[in-house]
Structure 1
Amino acid sequence: MLENKNEIQIYIDADACPVKEETYKVAARYKIKTYVVANSYMRVPLDPLVEMKVVSGTFDVADDWIFESVTDRDIVITADILLAERCVKKKARVLGPKGAEFTDDNIGSAVASRELMQNLRHMGEMRGGPAPMDQKARSQFLGKLDQIIQSLKRG
């Protein structure tokens, strides 16, 4: 199923990922195998290094598939804080779509903030979600993804 685990691989939590195209371009430049994991089929580049993985079943099946597959040589692209937490514990590199890397040092506060925001929304104190993606966030994402890949290649 998965390629040589000595090589870097990228896993995209794809259902609501706004930076799939950017990830494909960077992965192609470095010739990195990329898994696009989602609950339903979506169009991906016709490239042997990009594989669409459709998972079906309960709510967290895509997260579980990514978590079970990822190693400390891999990169996970996700906005899902709980998936990020699980993958950070496995020592994978985890990058949010706006260019923020989740690490041992910041994942605890990210989880706490997520819970606080969820509670505020539930109580009706807050509406809406995060700000939409803009060009600055896309640039930050691209820069950080490149930096992570370089670090893994050196390491």
Structure 2
Amino acid sequence: MPTSDIPDIIHLNRLNDVFFKALLGSEERKTLTLNFINAILNREGSNAFTSVTFSDKEIVPPQIDGKRSFLDVLVEMNDGTRVHVEVQVLLDEYMANRSLYYWGRIYSRELEKGDVYANLRPVITINLLDFDQFPQYQTYINTYHITNDVTHHMQIFVDADACPVIRQIERIARKYKVPVTLLCDTNHVLTSDYSTVKTIGASADAVDFALINLCHAGDVVVTQDFGVAAMALGRHAYAVHQDGWQYTDENIDRLLMERHLAKKTRRASKKNHLKGAHKRTAADDETFCRKFERLLQYLVNPQGFQKSMR
């Protein structure tokens, strides 16, 4: 074929607004839209959606002077679930706020005067972004739900100064797709191809307080510092020692008292020194890995963990 007959190749950004709406927002390609949604939501077999109906994409404000919004794609699935697909190429630092606003408006407009709340149907928002909205998560797809404080998207925070099990933590966390943050002071240099590394000032307890300020209920904190563990428990986080055992409300007071008495003994005698920790062995690391993975199994999938224990 003569080169003159070869059509020019047009390079398109597949997240281009016009292109995307023509591809997935048209009645002629509704099968493609259906397949796309099932693929993104991992819907297969009997759990897969079987049909889509395109809905009005305009969100009309309840007041005359309210904000009017136009969605990219809004469809209703065969079971009544509404799925909103939004594309954003340019960086929008308030994308999370905007997404929640759209989601809430779609959900609330389901009811008319006199309807009962039982008529409300699920609403799912899919955002396709050409920028890194959450740089702390090294994953291409992040899924969020409305949850309580205990079951929110869990993170692992490691008091990484002299922590001997950093790589073991990362290996297990990667397996269960749980993000990890390593915190160390300026006297240590850490690098990682998985975790987020935060270097804190070298002042006393700076790393400890930075870690506690970051963690939330349901997160996992790995530390050998009993004080940090106590503060983590106070925030309803899970606290784990580098040997694999858990700090709990039942043992933390005893541990703090033992630390206090040991410090008092050291100050009282300059000649007598307490014996330091034993040299770490491969068996210690294996014990940590076994206990730590068991904890993550439970936190990531409590129901599946209970079934595996039967």
Q: How far did 1:57 drift?
A: 4.8
In structure 1, how many angstroms separate the alpha carbons of the residues matched to 2:235 and 2:301?
A: 19
One-letter identity of the residue aligned with 2:176: Y
Of 276, 284, 291, which residue of structure 2 is paired with 1:129? 276
* Structure 2 partner of 1:109: 254
Q: How far did 1:42 drift?
A: 2.4
Q: How far did 1:38 drift?
A: 0.5
In structure 1, how many angstroms separate the alpha carbons of the residues matched to 2:190 and 2:281?
A: 23
* Structure 2 partner of 1:34: 180
- Tell me whether 131-140 or 78-87 shows the greater mean CA deviation: 131-140
CA RMSD of aligned residues (A): 1.9
Equivalent runs, 1:17-28 vs 2, <5 Å: 17-28=163-174
One-letter identity of the residue aligned with 2:197: M
- Could you say what secondary structure the match of 1:15 adopts? coil
One-letter identity of the residue aligned with 1:88: L
Cα deviation 1:93-123 (Å, max 9, x = unaligned): 1111111210101111110111111122222
One-letter identity of the residue aligned with 1:92: A
- Could you say what secondary structure the match of 1:54 adopts? strand
In structure 1, how many angstroms separate the alpha carbons of the residues matched to 2:252 and 2:199?
A: 27
In structure 2, how many angstroms separate the alpha carbons of the residues matched to 1:140 and 1:91?
A: 25
Cα deviation 1:6-44 (Å, max 9, x = unaligned): 211110101111111111111111111100000025233
Of 296, 300, 306, which residue of structure 2 is paired with 1:153? 300
The alignment covers a number of residue pairs equal to 153
One-letter identity of the residue aligned with 1:144: K
8 Å CA contact retained: 1:9, 1:33: yes
More helix by share: 1
Unaligned runs of 5+ in 1: none
Q: How far did 1:150 drift?
A: 1.7
* Structure 2 partner of 1:66: 211
Alignment of 1:51 with 2:218, yes or no, is: no
Alignment of 1:13 with 2:166, yes or no, is: no
In structure 2, how many angstroms separate the alpha carbons of the residues matched to 1:57 and 1:45?
A: 20
Alignment of 1:91 with 2:236, yes or no, is: yes
* Structure 1 partner of 2:55: none
Greater Rg over alpha carbons, structure: 2
With CA pairs under 8 Å and 6+ residues apart, which has the higher RCO, 1 or 2?
Answer: 1
- Tell me whether 99-108 or 114-123 shows the greater mean CA deviation: 114-123
One-letter identity of the residue aligned with 1:27: A
Percent of pairs with identical residues = 22
In structure 1, how many angstroms separate the alpha carbons of the residues matched to 2:296 and 2:163?
A: 19
8 Å CA contact retained: 1:42, 1:52: no
- Could you say what secondary structure the match of 2:158 adopts? strand
8 Å CA contact retained: 2:155, 2:220: yes
| TM-score, length basis structure 1 | 0.89
